[in-house]
Amino acid sequence: MTKVLMVCMGNICRSPMAEGMLRKALQEAGLDRHVEVDSAGTHAYHIGSAPDPRAQQAVSRRGADISRLRGRQVAATDFEAFDYILVMDTDNYSKLVRLAPALHHHKIRRLLSFSRKYPNLDVVDPYYGGAQGFEENLDMIEDAVKGLIRDIAGAPQAKQWPGI
């Protein structure tokens, strides 16, 4: 089982959107039984909260449901438990690298490092903006998710999966 953790600051906008879109893409690719997905925030602002209603609506328009997700903060055990720890921006990347034991630094990457259209960019926090920011985030996330699935499918453990 490959485990992916999506991380943003509060875990109510970007990382739950990324979690929802990755789950949808994995299901469509027939890989949902082989990949576990979760999301978390670097800050404790919204522990236990549902994703922002604007995030839920934007993801729903693209065929995924994140309404049952609840915010949580990154835990020390996450660095050991997950194979991919994917952050939405440079600030959260820096925070996780400071928190993680050095032997897990290789797992921490920016989500858009898997993107063909938006490499080297941050998924900017849409919280204080309008609906368009959520749509722009989803465009970036969907592109990166495609690249992430290609990467996961090329990993050594994927050779054991039926249909790969």
Asked about 13 being catalytic, the answer comes back as no
Give pLDDT tens digits for 5-26: 999 999 999 999 999 999 999 9
Sort strands 84-87 and 2-8 into parallel, antiparallel or unpaired: parallel
Asked about 8 being catalytic, the answer comes back as yes
Give the integer Cα–Cα distance in Å for 105 and 122.
19
Q: What integer pLDDT is reported at residue 85 of this predicted model? A: 98
pTM (2 decimals)?
0.95
**Does residue 125 contact residue 14 with C-beta atoms inside 8 Å?**
yes
State which CATH number among 2.60.370.10, 1.10.510.10, 3.40.50.2300, 3.20.20.20 fits the domain covering 2-160: 3.40.50.2300
Give the integer Cα–Cα distance in Å for 103 and 57.
38
Q: Is the pLDDT of residue 110 over 60?
A: yes
Catalytic annotation, pick one of 13, 14, 72, 78 = 14
Catalytic annotation, pick one of 8, 54, 72, 143 = 8
Ordered by start, the domain boundaries in the chain are 2-160
Catalytic annotation, pick one of 52, 89, 125, 143 = 125
Asked about 14 being catalytic, the answer comes back as yes
**Does residue 12 contact residue 19 with C-beta atoms inside 8 Å?**
no
Give pLDDT tens digits for 118-149: 998 999 999 999 999 999 999 999 999 999 99
